[in-house]
Amino acid sequence: MRLPSIEQLVRAGRGSAGRFPLVFLSAAIAAAAGVLLPDSSIEDTLLGVLYVATLGIPLSLAVELVAERRGLSGLTRWMAGFLVVALLVAIYVGRLSWSEPVELLRYVQLSVAAHLLVAVAPYLGVREWNGFWQYNRSLLLRFLIAGVFSFVLYVGLAIALLAVDNLLGVNVEGETYFRLWCVIAFLFNTWFFISGIPEDLEALDRRADYPPALKVLGQYILSPLVTVYLLIITAYLGRILITRVWPSGWIGYLVSSVAVAGILSLLLLYPIEEREENRWVRSYARWFYIGLIPANVMLLLAIWKRIQQYAITEPRYFLVILSLWLAGISLFYAFSRSRNIKVIPATLALLAIVTFAGPWSAYAVSRRSQTARLENLLQRNGMLVDGRVRAVEDSDGVPFDDRREIGAVLSYLAETHGTGSIEPWFPEGRLAEVDTIARGTAPTDRWEADERAALIVGELGLEYVGSWTPGEGEGFNFFVEQDGPPLRITGYDYVLRNRSAVDDTIRVEGSPIGFAYDETNLSIVMLRDDVALLSVPLTSMIEYGLEFSRSQTSYGALPADQLTIETEVDGTRFGLSVTSIGGFIEGTGGSADEAAEIEPAGDAAAFRITMLNADYYFSEGL
């Protein structure tokens, strides 16, 4: 194969920039924003520019490909480009009022829609099935090649910069590598990709070449795997019908994986399914989609159970929409003879656009659902009467699970949508007096959201319980904070570092001293000649961890001194410094709070430890 000359590469680059000027401009703006981002005083502005510029690359490419395919005049093409710019400006302005979770989800949503439009828009209204497949094959191949070339170029230049830094003594700042990545990822990668997009799309429909590797992947690898997993799903459905147990939430991962792999295998085999030796593909496709229908039913049942328990959030909304889309696609291809594969990307792009904004959007529906969930929780516990909140008289009368759910919903609203939806429940101006952290009712970051939720819960007469705080039958996990002050340990002769104590007995080499975990009394026992010298109970440490977690806006990390216990019996000193401890809450009546109410003899029964790692310090005084 003859390699292109430098002159040819330059000419191809100019041709690509002239063919897709708005794409090249978006890539250049994205690269410039990325280069300027480190150490910038206008970081948020540059992030916004980067946000819309990276969306502008696929969006403008889709528009310019449609204009090229339709043979639109120069003025019409410029008007279409102006509409793209106006839309990007509107997105930039709208982004200013979005919370971080909403901003990220909307970016993914718009990015998916734009990339799907690139795949399908030039072929809308055109009955060129083979051309559509060949076009997307060329896009995929070009995308992969561009990614590999960009990666190799970045690694090569990064190593060159590293060599200059280490060998020539020229200081290369760490931000330089990020800037280099931005230039290559946004500018070079985009330029290389668009330079390989076919110009004569009509000619693609006449192409008959088909890579044998695609047949191997689709027929001999993906199709058998999909068949095996469909059989597993069908067997699981039979088990559900016999045992009458709701489907596990894990079924969503399996159904999604099977659907993606199955649809991909059928798309890979699409151009050759009419050949005599491949007639089986049409029958396989039909039974594949029929097999997906009961799997979708199970998936929807699992999602619905989750929604009944915890209402709708954006991820659950999208999961429902995608499950319904998959059910529709399955019915369409199972009971029709259509070979129109454009339906798949076109309907997905339409869904991404339709669910982006409006009262039916993921964000509006989730906000209403979670607000209604909170309203029901407050009314059930007498904290919302006639549309007005009031403090509960007896906080102990509010179940632990309800307190945790109230805190979780308030934290979600404060972080994702703001607290405007609950403001009418409070006397005028009262919510602002209580929620002093926020600037009005606007959403804030995660840590502030938890603090705001704690303030609002306090107004209701409750102690804030974080969503991470475990209840009866649930697990707990505590570990020593990494950036805490050093722990002072004096007066010991020996140390055993990072020992696992669950179901383990440790003996010091050359010494009769041993250590064992006493599951019955939930303690670490020090022994000599199998006779207990002393015992260190762990119940109080766990109780402190649970209590501490309720007063924090995060869960897990505890101060080192609170995970350390020291004791001395008959001259033998023993210190236990726990690095991590985990297990389950048992027999507490459903609340971590109630652990403190258990009599001392029953403390050990309140918890079950499944993981414990600690440092042992001891001195033998006998």
- In the chain, where are the structural domains located? 6-204, 212-354, 362-459, 475-619
Is the pLDDT at 599 greater than 50? The verdict is no
Q: Average the pLDDT over 376-395 and give the result.
A: 88
The pLDDT assigned to 506 comes to: 62
**Beta bridge partners of residue 496, listed in sequence order:** 616
Q: Could you tell me if 278 and 269 are in contact, meaning their C-beta atoms sit under 8 angstroms apart?
A: yes
Name the residue among 129, 124, 125, 60 with its Cα closest to residue 91. 60
What is the per-residue pLDDT for 496? 77
CA dihedral of residues 550, 551, 555, 558 (deg, nearest 10): -120
- Write the CB contacts of 244 (distance below 8 Å, at least 6 apart in sequence): none
Q: What is the pLDDT of residues 339-374, one digit of tens each?
A: 788 899 999 999 999 999 899 999 999 999 999 999
Mean pLDDT, the chain, rounded, equals 82
Rounded-to-integer distance, Cα 289 and Cα 292, Å: 5
CA-based angle 343:346:351, to the nearest 5? 115
Which is it for strands 557-558 and 475-480: parallel, antiparallel or unpaired? parallel
11 falls in which pLDDT band (50, 70, 90)? Answer: low
Tell me what percent of the chain is helix, strand and coil, each rounded to the nearest 5: 60, 10, 25
Mean local confidence (pLDDT), 126-140: 87
Beta bridge partners of 564: 577
How do residues 25-48 score in pLDDT, each as one tens digit?
A: 999 999 999 999 887 788 889 999
What tokens does 472 get? Answer: 């009866």
pLDDT, tens digit, 9 for 90 and up, residues 483-494? 767 777 777 878
**pLDDT for the residue numbered 210:** 77
pLDDT in tens, 532-555: 778 888 888 888 877 776 656 556
- Cβ atoms of 75 and 134 within 8 Å: the answer is no
pLDDT recorded at residue 595: 39
Q: Do the Cβ atoms of 583 and 606 come closer than 8 Å?
A: no
CA atoms within 13 A of residue 29's CA, in its CB half-sphere: 21
Averaged pLDDT for residues 65-89 = 87
Which pLDDT does position 485 carry in this prediction? Answer: 74
Number of Cβ within a 10 Å radius of residue 610: 13
Tokens of 145: 């090649």
291 vs 155, more confident = 155
Q: What is the mean pLDDT of residues 246-254?
A: 70
| Mean pLDDT in residue range 171-178 | 84
Residues 6+ apart with CB under 8 A from 164: 170, 172
> Which residues lie closer than 8 Å to 103 by C-beta, 6 or more apart?
51, 95
* Spatial distance between the Cα atoms of 414 and 332, rounded to a whole number of angstroms: 41
The answer to whether the CB of 313 falls within 8 A of the CB of 272 is no
Q: What is the pLDDT of residue 269?
A: 78
Average pLDDT over residues 83-107: 92
Give how far Cα 176 sits from Cα of 32, 34, 39, 154, 158, Å.
Answer: 13, 11, 11, 12, 9
The predicted structure's pLDDT at residue 16: 73
Say which DSSP state 57 is in: H
The reported pLDDT for the residue numbered 249 is 63
> Could you read off the pLDDT of 192-223 as tens digits, one per residue?
998 888 888 888 888 878 777 777 777 778 77
Average of per-residue pLDDT across 378-396: 87
Q: Find residue 572's DSSP bridge partners.
A: 569
Give the per-residue pLDDT at 530.
73
Is 489:591 a contact under the CB 8 Å cutoff?
no
Contacts of 541 (CB under 8 A, 6+ apart): 562, 563, 565, 578, 581
The pLDDT of 101-111, averaged and rounded, is 94
Report the alpha-carbon distance of residue 395 to residue 382 in Å, rounded.
Answer: 11
With a cut of 50, say whether residue 594 has pLDDT above it.
no
Residue with the two structure tokens 């915890």? 310
pLDDT one-digit tens code per residue, 468-481 = 777 666 778 888 87
pLDDT at 54 over 90: yes
Residues 255, 233: contact at Cβ < 8 Å?
Answer: yes
- Distances, alpha carbon 324 to alpha carbons 287, 317, 476, in Å: 19, 11, 36
Residues 117/62, Cβ–Cβ less than 8 Å: yes
DSSP secondary structure of 7-55 = HHHHHHHHHHHHHSHHHHHHHHHHHHHHHH-TT-TTHHHHHHHHHHHHH
CA atoms of 176 and 128, how far apart (whole Å): 47
Residues sharing a CB contact under 8 Å with residue 510, sequence separation 6 or more, in sequence order:
none
Find the range with the poorest average confidence among 109-113, 294-298, 461-465, 559-563.
Answer: 559-563
Q: How far apart are the C-alpha atoms of 408 and 453, rounded to whole Å? A: 8
Question: Max CA-CA distance within the chain?
Answer: 98
